[in-house]
Structure 1
Amino acid sequence: MEKRSSSSAQDVEVRKGPWTMEEDLILMNYIADHGEGVWNTLAKSAGLKRTGKSCRLRWLNYLRPDVRRGNITPEEQLLIMELHAKWGNRLVY
């Protein structure tokens, strides 16, 4: 006798692989209109066939407006070295 999961009827095909420009726009527009929230709910509400984790990582690491890309400046390098000398690898909140 084969066991079936009770949620199998509700399972939605989850898209994997690279994000498309269209998906990026959907995510950016949804967050602009509704803000960040529960990522699994956001993914479904936005109509994306992605997991909440995938949406969260895409937003935080690539799409968020304040994400800066590129090399750090010499001043930033110096600051990192000074802070590391003072605090080490400790997390400071």
Structure 2
Amino acid sequence: MEKQFVDLLSEELKLQETVGEEHIHHMNITFGEARRLASQYQKEAEKCNAATEICEAARERAEALLLKERKITSLWEQRARQVGWQGE
């Protein structure tokens, strides 16, 4: 009877060890997937930041060009008024 009890305890310990190993294996897979996704999201964030910087630089260039165009337009309008043009 005592041998059966020891055998049952031994079997229970082996089962718990197997379940523990499976749990560790599952956690390792989950952790690896989480690291992969985090890396992917980091790369996407870096791309987004780079694109935002490019857009901001383009906006600044467009703003500078618009200011330049307004100055030129104002100059031409001033010259036109000097020769008799009457705007709206």
TM norm structure 2: 0.25
Instruction: Indicate the structure whose relative CO is greater, using CA pairs within 8 Å and at least 6 residues apart.
Output: 1
TM norm structure 1: 0.24
Q: Name the structure with the higher helix share.
A: 2
